[in-house]
Copies of this chain bind each other. A is one copy, B any other.
Amino acid sequence: MTSPTPAESAFDRETAVAVAPDADPGRPTWTASLSDAWNIGDNPNGGYLLSPMVQAIRSHTGRPDPLSLTAHFLRPGLGGQPADIVAEEVRSGRRSATVTASLHQGGKERVRVLGAFGDLANVAPLGLDVPELGAEPPELPTPDECRDRRRLEQGVELPILSRLDVRIDPQWAEPGRGGRAEVAGWIRFADGRAPDAVSLPLFADAFPPSLFSLVGRVGWVPTLELTVHVRRPPAPGWIRARFRTSDLVGELFVEDGELWDSTGQLVARSRQLAVLLDDGR
């Protein structure tokens, strides 16, 4: 598959931001036009909502990579509608810039972000004699041997799978039959766009909830907060990912994720606090 140019890539087109013409320099504002092609059910995927915010922060700070990105999802987004994004640089340092941003639609704030952006190509090497550490990727069947996420019984419509190609290890593909709350598999853009640091927060939020394999069909799982640490720029090719929930108290659970690139390097970690709704809505 040939990688599309940014102009051809659905992700780049549908997460593009433009500086608002009357932007206040102390409070820079961007506009975006959100697509409904990234919906989970009736709502845009949370990782998709983050993506134009990441684009705005990159252009504002001149720092390409989200070293740490925390998003609080305040209200569902509105697919197919315009959005305003406001960003504020809290501090700019040598190593990173700390920034906060908000996404608004229909006069209401939908997402609030706090993050530290830097340049992974320029992370200082360590003078100490310590090897790099990074979790080993799990052994998985090949993407072709995995189950296409479109063929899982998930109890919710997934327009997002027109944009993302998600393959699930068959071990975790039967609702309620996995024996524990885990999911692993592969992900890439459906149109062949190469992965980069911007796409990793999206990829960290695009798998079925890992509770699916323990509990069964879980429907819409609202995320209260998602934090992603991008650790390395990913190589081209499939991203391998694993998500696990070992922490469920009442309706609130914490899910941890790890993402590796096609060379087996750990490229991102994620953790989210989310809600398991009784009625699967």
Q: Residues of A with Cβ closer than 8 Å to B?
A: 67-68, 70, 72, 74-75, 90-91, 93, 95-96, 98, 100, 109, 112, 114, 116, 123-128, 130, 132-135, 181, 211, 214-215, 224-225, 227, 229, 231-232, 245-254, 266, 269, 271, 273, 275-276, 278-279
In Å, the complex CA distance between A86 and B246 comes to 35
A98–B74 touching, CB < 8 Å: yes
What residue in chain B is nearest A253 (Cβ atoms)? Answer: B133
- The answer to whether B227 and A254 have CB atoms under 8 Å apart is no
**A104 to B11 CA separation, bound complex (whole angstroms):** 39
B227 & A135 in contact (Cβ 8 Å cutoff): no
Report the copy number of this chain in the oligomer: 2
Q: What CA separation (Å) do A248 and B90 show in the bound complex?
A: 26
B residues in contact with A273, CB < 8 Å: 67-68, 116, 229
Q: Among the listed B211, B215, B231, which residue makes an inter-chain contact with A247, where contact means beta carbons less than 8 Å apart?
A: B231
| Contact (A114, B224) CB under 8 Å given A247-B134, A253-B133 | no
Contact B227 A227 (CB under 8 A): yes
A251 to B211, CA, bound (A): 34
| Residues of B contacting A109 in the complex (Cβ-Cβ under 8 angstroms) | 90-91
Nearest chain B CB to A211 CB, angstrom units:
8
In the complex, the answer to whether B124 meets A246 with C-beta atoms within 8 Å is: no
Contact flag A232-B254 (CB < 8 Å), given A67-B273, A114-B72: no
